[in-house]
Amino acid sequence: MRLIARTAVPAQPRATAAVIVALILAFAAVACRAQTQGADGQEAFQLLCSACHGPDGKGRDGPLRPAGVDPSLLDLTNARVRDLSDAQLRIRIQYGGDKMPPPGGRPGALDAGVVDSLVRYVRALSGSNASAASPSRDYGSLGQGAAFYLNHCAQCHGFVGRGSAHVARALNVDLSSLDLTTVPPQTRSLEDFRRLLSRGKGKMLPLSRLPDPNELDGLIRYIRELASLAPSAQESTDPVDTPPRSLLAAQDDAFAVVIGAGKSSLPEIPPARGADNDARVMRDYLINAMGYRERNVLLLIDDKATRASAIKAVGGWLKNRADTNSRVFFYFSGHGSRDPVSGADMLDLYDTDPGYLSQTALPLERLFGLLREIPAQDKSVILDACFLAGPRVISMAGLRPLKIGRSARPAVGALVMTATGPNQVGAEETSSNHGLFTYYLLSGLHGAAASSRDGSITVDRLYAYVKASVEKAARRQNVEQTPSLYASPDQPAARRPWVILAR
């Protein structure tokens, strides 16, 4: 289903914007957890902002300050920042701007209380209450340790210290052996830890550059921060997994079927990694941001995502509820395949057998036929799957074998958005538990595709963002993937906003 990039020995990156984003993503959970009121915004500032702007906000001493950037451009105490209104400063903190990434890692990711505390703290940096903005804790070495970790350790141990599954597979080791949150370095003596870094152990190679004393102290402190987040290891900390606050009111006549076919009843078929999570989060977005009532969203995952249940959900449950004024939404995440005899494109479900595709998979033609029978005018179909020739494709680990069958425009009377173009495979978003397409679909709905004027997210803006983001991210995995959109101009789903962000 999804393609994982081939593993090579990673080069040591420089402290680029990508590293900065990784740093603030890891720190965001710590800062949002803190009770930041008034001057206590220093906790969030030091964790989220000081890496670039410096502990005092003057732009000089940040360990990840971009090389070649004039410190005055990072100085938060100058007149340029003082002249911003609180509303303008709040928007800059939430959404970033120019070359500044949003401090929460994703647009709109930070809790409103944290944003308000950061606004007050930045004001205190240059105002009469500057003494309240003086750091009462030493964050300097923590920032240096974070920068060292992200430059030298994150490639194998992951941005949050729980190990990279990609590297674990390449090295043929258990993922737990790369997890620093279960046996953090503070359980070792300082000398043992320094010796481990200099000599390596087992399949761990010695570092090309050892940390200086400040970096070593900060490195241990930083990993301790990561370890403190370990109890919530089963919960996603990625901002896109939390629906944004939306002004769209829930509608009684909006109905959705969401399918995550991540597992198969046949042990020889690899799971569609992240498909179940794709479906769960998509359901949350529909209910909390896109105007669907919980009782009107049908979720099918794991062994509930069978061929019969999918047909019954669309041809029965959905058809029996929707009328001409209804809004209908269908989402699928999972494997796809193409019948070698008929050439028909199929959605593969829990009980699909690659030897009997026509009898056990759901042909797109059948799905579109069921949708055509629903009288609603406003219909949307989202498919995160890929179709390649031959049934063997669903037995290839890592691939979501999709294209829209033999017709360029599916005759379904609906807006249809797919993960790939013709004869392409779909990639996985390696830093999250999502397909690449769904990850950026959620990111766009979360706010990355929102209008700066009114916060609305329409399909044209959403698709433009998803297409550009997926193409760029897939190329980094040596994959060509271009999402497709099929929608007539008079399709209601193409004209209305899907989300309206609450400002």
Mapped to the 3 state alphabet, what secondary structure does 392-439 carry? HHHHCCCCECCCCCCCCCCCCCCEEEECCCCCCCEEEECCCCEEHHHH
Question: Is the pLDDT at 295 greater than 90, yes or no?
Answer: yes
Please give the order of strands across the beta sheet that includes 434-435.
2-3, 426-429, 434-435
More confident residue, 259 or 426: 259
What type of residue sits at position 186?
A: Q
For 121-154, how does the pLDDT look when each residue is reduced to its tens digit (9 = 90+)?
888 887 645 555 555 555 556 667 777 777 778 7
**Rounded mean pLDDT, 19-24:** 47
Question: Is the pLDDT at 22 greater than 80, yes or no?
Answer: no
Query: In this structure, what is the dihedral angle of CA atoms 314, 315, 320, 321, given to the nearest 10 degrees?
Result: 20
More confident residue, 179 or 293: 293
**Rounded mean pLDDT, 458-468:** 94
More confident residue, 226 or 271: 271
Contact (CB, 8 A) for 20 and 101: yes
Question: Is the pLDDT at 306 greater than 60, yes or no?
Answer: yes
Band of pLDDT at residue 357, cut at 50, 70 and 90: confident
Question: Is the pLDDT at 301 greater than 50, yes or no?
Answer: yes
For 311-326, how does the pLDDT look when each residue is reduced to its tens digit (9 = 90+)?
999 999 999 999 999 9
Full set of structural domains in the chain with CATH: 17-133 (1.10.760), 140-232 (1.10.760.10), 239-500 (3.40.50.1460)
Per-range mean pLDDT, top range of 19-23, 199-203, 395-399, 468-472: 468-472
Per-range mean pLDDT, top range of 108-122, 163-177, 305-319, 340-354: 305-319
Mean pLDDT of the chain: 76
Per-range mean pLDDT, top range of 71-75, 462-466, 471-475: 462-466
Question: Is the pLDDT at 446 greater than 90, yes or no?
Answer: yes
What is the model's pLDDT at position 76?
87
What is the model's pLDDT at position 178?
82
